[in-house]
Every structure is written in C-alpha cells, then in structure tokens.
Structure 1
Amino acid sequence: MATVTDDQLYPIGDVARRTGLSVSAIRFYADEGVIEPTAHTDAGYRLYDVAAIARLELVRTLRDLGAGLDDIRGVLKDEMSLRELASAHLDVVEGQMRTLKARRAVLHTIVNQNSDARQVSLLHDLVNMSDDARDRLLDDFWTEVTGGLPIHPGYQEHLRRTRPVLPEEPTAEQLQAWIALADMVGDAEFRASVRHFYRQAFATPRSDELTSPQMVARSEEHSAISLEAWKAERAGTTPESPEARELAERLLRSTGLMSAEMTGQSMDEEQWADLRGLLSEPEANPEVTRFVEGFTADFGGVFEPFFALLATINDVPLEELWNTGPSDAWVAAALRAGG
C-alpha cells in the first residue's frame, strides 16, 4: 500500500481500504455532515486528504466504542490538529476503560456473593458514587456509631478523617474493596459492634479528656513510634543494636506520657521506674499483658477487616493503618540491653 502524504488527495475507494470503513459508510458520514470530502474531481467524485482520513479513522473507532453521531460531531465540530484528535480519542478510550473496570468489579461481586436483583442495583450505584456521596456515606457511619457517646467533638472529626479515597482511575481490586467497605459500613451488625466497642472503651468519667485533641495527637505520635519499631524488628534489627535501644526508649517515654494524659497526673521517678520494669519484664506482669492482648484482640476483631479494605482502596500498606507495634519480647530485650 502506498504511503499517505499530507498534500495528496485520495479517492473514496482508497480511503475505504485505509480506514476499514465501507464506501457507503464514508458517504453516509459525508451526507450527515460528520466528515465531508476535502474536494471533488471534475466528475464529482469525492476526494479526501490525510487529515480527513485521520478523522474517519477516529469516527470508526468511536463508533466501535459505542459513540453516537451527536457525540462524534461534538468531538469534530471544531478544527483540530492530529494531536488533538489523538487526545480526544484517548479520552474516550480511557473513559471506556474506567466504565469497564467498574462493571468488572460489580460482576465479580455478584459472582462471589451470589447477589440478588436488589443488590445488583445497589452495587452499580456504589461504584458510580461521587466523592461527595462516598464522604456522606462514611459521615453517616461515624455519626451513628459515635452519636451520644461522651467523647470530645474533636475525636469525632478525627474518626471522620478515616475514610476511603478512590484514585481517579481505580483498579478493579480497589473498586471491589470499595464495594465491600460500603457494604460493611452499611451493615447494622457491624455498626452495632463498632458502637459497642466505643461504649466499652469510653465507659469512664474522663472520656472527654481521653478523646481530646491533645490525647489524639499523643496517640498518633505513639503509633508512629510503634510503626517505626515494628519496621525495625521486621527488618531484622537486633534488640542489642543502638537503633533498637533508642526506639525502645522512645516507646517507653511515649507510653509514660500517654499514661500521664490518661490519668491526668504527671509521672514521678518511681512510676517511670515501674513502667521500665513492666516493659523490660512483661512475663512478670501477666495480668497487664493479658489486658493489653485482650484490648488489642477486641479492637482487631472489630476493625481489622475495615482497615484492610481501607488500605487497598487508599493504596497504602496495611501496617500504616493497622499495626500492633513490635513484639513485647523485642522491646523488653532492647530496654534490658540499654541498661
């Protein structure tokens, strides 16, 4: 096939072979004002230049993707360079890909859950939710599970920031995780379990202080240190190393400061010594160990599936959202190594 050049005009038969369109289709698009011929021969035969051929190829692709003539006219109504035409073509293809990913996520969920007709409609609505609608769904969840609890208003705002953020082009896995998360937060049994957990956790006269912005900041700082120590242990850092000893001391200090915030009393030297002994010899304090393990298990039983889905949607490592910190044995050995 001869090379197409910018200054050459081609008869409709050549254009049909180059574009894959039938001659009748090319005539139809001309008659409908979609792509008109560039020129005509003296005998009235239609001729097309390279730009018109490119537009016809785009029309063919758009039609293959299901675009109607009105949509195609909207793309072609202004003069465009070939680069602009390619960009318009890419926008359509990417839009189709996003739609197909959403459909794939719905179909996977239908197959896995054996969904009924009512659920299918709900799943379709979920994957096509706007960012604002997703925010409202999570806001409603946090409002219900914390409503009426004796906690600081700032803590409720802190919880509301724990939400999924779908990227502009989510993967099928992220869409499926969002469907599962939306189903989870809408489930009455899950809401009741979360509400029960918070009622038990904050069944204290000082619940407002324990959920104050200062306490939240202290807790987030402690979580960051715990995550850092967890990563160090996972990377094989020995408890006797300077890095481990420094992390253990930071954990000790952070634990003491959190305890002071919770009790409303400063730590004296004796209490710091007791805390060091508790963390250095956890096996000597089984009651405390069982309490901590029990609280962690209760929290994990309620929230771990939630955070696992959230991590997938937000494309972050699960340990950044859900992490129990380094092992007691690693921290204890590091503290003992530091003397």
Structure 2
Amino acid sequence: MNDDGPEPLTIGRLARRTGMPVRTIRYWSDIGALPPAGRSSGGYRLYDAESVARLELIRTLRELGLGLEDVRRVLERETTVAAVAAVQVKALDVQIHTLRLRRAVLSTVAKRQSDTEEMTLLNKLARLSAEERRQIIEEFTSEVFGGVDADPEIKERMRHTAVELPDDPTPEQVDAWVELAELVGDPGFRQRMRGMAEFNAAQGREPGGYQWFAKKVTWLVGGARERGVAPDSPEAADVLGRLLGGTDSHRHAEILQRLETGADSDAERYRQLLAVVNGQPPQPSHTPDYVWLITALRAHG
C-alpha cells in the first residue's frame, strides 16, 4: 500500500465502517471478490478506500438478489450493472407471478376449507395454460351443442368465449375459475345445458331468440317484481301474456318444465363466473326473476 495515503484499514475497522460482519468480509475476500490492498508486517489483510467502495457495491448487488457469479462478473467488468439488472428484473417477474398464484391458491384453499386432495386439484387447475383452459371450455360446448340445431348466436358465443385468467390472478379469480371448471365438468350441469339447447332448438326460434326472451324476462318480470306484483295475481297473468304472447297452456307447461330444471340459473352462474375470471364487472343476478316466472306459470297454468 502507499505509505503516503490514508491509513489502511484492518478487517475489523472495515467491518465497523461498513457495518458488515467480519466473517462476511473475510468470505468475500477469500473468494477474490474483495482482494486486500496489502498486508501488515504481521501478515494481516489491509484495505483502503477503494476496498470500502467495492464492499458497498457487493452489498448492494447482493441485497438486490444477484447471485455470486453475477456479482463477480460485475466486479470484474465482464458485464454491466444494467445488463445484470435487466436479467434480474425478468427473474423477479417470474418469482412474483409464482408467489401471487401461490397466494391466490392458498387463499382459495383456506376459503373452501379444502382437504389435501382438493388442494392438489385447485393447484393443478390454477396452473393450467391458456390453451388448456380453452380446451376445457371447448369440450364443454361441444358436448352441449353437438348435433343440436341450437341458436347459432348462442353456440358461437359460448364456443369462442375466452377464459382469460391473468398471470397474477386475485384469489377471487382463482376461486371463480375453479368453480367454473368444476361446473362445466359436472355431468348434471352439462345435461341441463344440453336440455336447454335442445328445447330452444325444438322451438324453431330465429337466431338471437333466446337472448331476446331473456331480455323480455328482465324487462317485464323484473319490472313486475319492482312494482310488487304478486306472481299469483291477475296483473301477473297480464305480464305472462305480454311475455309469452298468445301461447297456449301446453306451451306454458313446456316453458315451466324447462325453467324448473334450473338450467337458466345454471347458465347465469356460468356467465357470472366467466366475468369474474376475465376481470369484467359483475353481472346482476336475474334468478329472482325466473323464480317469480316459475311461480306465476304454476299459478296461471
């Protein structure tokens, strides 16, 4: 060391100045990342101001999560801090995604009071790729509409509805996706949805007819409910007349039979879950409207 320069620092003094433990400084020195500036007459390692700056850089790089090899490459000027930082950002993004997904799954497990078997299933469902999720929905729609001359607008909409679970889903989105996957995999749900498709196809409705009927239920039945109209009242009979037109009692019975399967409520739940998974605004529930309609059809059948 230069005898005319500042007084050299022993490893103990370097530790006190930087606040780093002696054993840590010794480790970095032993692996060559912090070579001593010289030796004392007794053979002890001595450090200078440049050593202090180098040690501070090492500490900063380690606190930012860089590995030993990356730290060495930066110190040896084999790469730049910017290049290493860019790689580290990508690695952190992967870690953040993993941690958020893990947190969301654990939140769902806690909410559902899952056992180990269900926890394994939840974790598997949450980690499916976008293509795997698409295949689940496509298989469901194929079974529901396969061979059925259903409303083409409904068929196309359900077949091409994407399930866009984000890379960092909320616990609510994971919970909704798990429920959706369970729902479309339920044979009973598939059977009810196919029954609805077959019923609508048998009526020979024009494309978009089912959506039009659902809107009329919302307008007419929803309006009646808001006015406090009882489903067994004479006014309710008038609402049915405007909703169903000049249909006869046999037609009323068919509609009642379909509504009593719960398919409309199932379809509504399907749409609500899709909205949550895709981060869309929650859709209002029209189940009370259909409950009113079922009661009115029974009363005036």
Tell me the equivalent position of 2:201.
202
Q: CA deviation at 1:41?
A: 1.4
Tell me the equivalent position of 2:56.
53
Percent identity of paired positions between Structure 1 and Structure 2: 28
Distance change >3 Å, CA 221–CA 192, structure 1 → 2: closer
Q: Aligned partners of 1:129, 1:14: CA distance in 2, in Å?
A: 55
| Equivalent AA in structure 2 for residue 304 of structure 1 | E
Give TM-score, length-normalised by structure 2.
0.60
Tell me the equivalent position of 2:176.
177
Counterparts of residues 13-52 of structure 1 (less than 5 Å)? 22-28=21-27, 36-37=33-34, 40-43=36-39, 44-45=45-46, 47-48=50-51, 50=53
Tell me the equivalent position of 2:278.
314
| Equivalent AA in structure 2 for residue 312 of structure 1 | V
Give the secondary structure class of the aligned counterpart of 2:283.
helix
Give TM-score, length-normalised by structure 1.
0.55
Residues 101, 126 of structure 2: 8 Å contact kept: yes
Is residue 286 of structure 1 aligned with residue 240 of structure 2? yes
Please, what is the CA RMSD of the aligned residues?
Answer: 4.9
Distance change >3 Å, CA 302–CA 137, structure 1 → 2: same
Q: Aligned partners of 2:170, 2:73: CA distance in 1, in Å?
A: 29
| Equivalent AA in structure 2 for residue 286 of structure 1 | L
Q: Aligned partners of 1:56, 1:169: CA distance in 2, in Å?
A: 31
Q: Aligned partners of 1:177, 1:88: CA distance in 2, in Å?
A: 34
Q: CA deviation at 1:304?
A: 2.2
Residues 100, 168 of structure 2: 8 Å contact kept: no
Q: Aligned partners of 2:13, 2:215: CA distance in 1, in Å?
A: 67
Q: Which has the larger radius of gyration?
A: 2
Per-residue CA deviation, residues 71-124 of structure 1 (Å, 9 max, x unaligned), is 98899973124x973x66655555444323322232233333343333222211
Where in structure 1 are there 5+ consecutive unaligned residues?
1-8, 234-280, 327-339
Where in structure 2 are there 5+ consecutive unaligned residues?
1-7, 40-44, 224-234, 245-251, 290-301
- 1:303 pairs, out of 267, 274, 292, with 267
Counterparts of residues 45-84 of structure 1 (less than 5 Å)? 45=46, 47-48=50-51, 50=53, 53-60=56-63, 62=65, 78-81=79-82
Tell me the equivalent position of 1:150.
149
Counterparts of residues 235-246 of structure 1 (less than 5 Å)? none
Tell me the equivalent position of 2:123.
124
The more displaced of 123-132 and 103-112 is 103-112
Q: Aligned partners of 2:144, 2:153: CA distance in 1, in Å?
A: 15
Tell me the equivalent position of 1:190.
189
| Equivalent AA in structure 2 for residue 315 of structure 1 | G
Q: Aligned partners of 2:51, 2:217: CA distance in 1, in Å?
A: 69
Q: Aligned partners of 1:20, 1:48: CA distance in 2, in Å?
A: 14
Residues 146, 198 of structure 1: 8 Å contact kept: yes
Q: CA deviation at 1:173?
A: 1.9
